[in-house]
Amino acid sequence: MYKISAALSALLLSLTTTAAAYNVKLSGECVGVKVYTDGLIITDTMTLTDIYGKKVNVANSCGIKKGDIIKKVNNTDAISVNIVLEAVKDGSVNLTLLRNGKEFCVDVTPIQTNEGAKLGLWLRDSTAGLGTITCFIDNRFVGLGHGICDIDTGNIMPVRNGIIQDCSDISITKGEKGQPGAISGAIDGKKLGDVTANKHHGISGTMLSPSEGKDIETAEKSEIRPGKASILCDADGKGVKEYEIEIKRIVLSQSAGKDMVIKITDDELIEKTGGIIQGMSGSPIIQNGKLVGAVTHVFVNNPTKGYGVFIDNMLDGVG
């Protein structure tokens, strides 16, 4: 295996295609994110015992797999789990499923159990959590720096719609080696905007009112170098503040959300959070007066280190 020097890494990076710079407004605000799936995600399947004591797995018999997405139930859009619960009461159900970008249909006969008719499918129609908005272009925003993935399947969640809103009662669980920390809070505040897309490099959407924040130019990939930088985040619920970090190296692996390795060097932030914690994803990274990217992942065994994504990748298709 050959090692690539920092100079060679920068040279190779400069040869890649770069996007034009944008003028954006910085954020760094921690918000609540609620999204509703485009279809119902099958997060798992199970074997049931029918009223005669026989073990039956409907999924196996019909070719249904974990990770499949139910798009329609009896030709009705699958917008909530309740649609399936109601349909199985009437007997055989026709499901339109999506797998690897292709749709197909299956007829499923529910199993009659002592608790009623069931399909033996675990389904998910929504999720919620905290994350950080990176920046705004006019009334558009980008945030998180990585896609919202289903916790059971690991797949990017297909989003039908969603919202961002204020969160309250912020508290911090510090990160430790082997145990990532987290920002916690109540997602019950004023609606700030709508989530319209969930991609590998983050979420995006529209704001309900004009955004506030410092104007800044984005950096092209070729401008980003290992060295001193800073991030903006709300690490204690008291407002957005700037903290020192270091960009340790640029990564050429093309893995989504892992374009650079960063390290938290600010003693105040380390004292508050232990380093990078859940909820900080999307915190803008600034170097030489330009927005270069956003925080995405933490190294579980060293919470002062993690990954960042290039801002070019986050803004691709958004501006």
Residues 275-314 pLDDT 10s? 999 999 999 999 999 999 999 999 999 999 999 999 999 9
* 266 is known as an active-site residue: yes
Residue 30 bridge partners (DSSP): 132
Find the catalytic residue in 211, 266, 297, 312.
266
Q: Residue 138 contacts by C-beta under 8 Å, 6 or more apart in sequence?
A: none
For 227-264, the pLDDT digits (tens) are 999 999 998 888 899 999 999 999 876 677 889 999 99
Find the catalytic residue in 38, 68, 125, 146.
146
**Side-chain-side CA neighbours of residue 266 (13 Å):** 20
* 146 is known as an active-site residue: yes
For 188-222, the pLDDT digits (tens) are 778 999 999 999 999 999 999 877 888 999 999 88
Contact indicator for 290, 219 with CB cutoff of 8 Å: yes
Find the catalytic residue in 27, 204, 281, 283.
281
What is the spatial distance between Cα 174 and Cα 275, in angstroms, rounded to a whole number?
Answer: 8
* 234 is known as an active-site residue: no
Question: Tokens 């700037």 — which residue?
Answer: 242
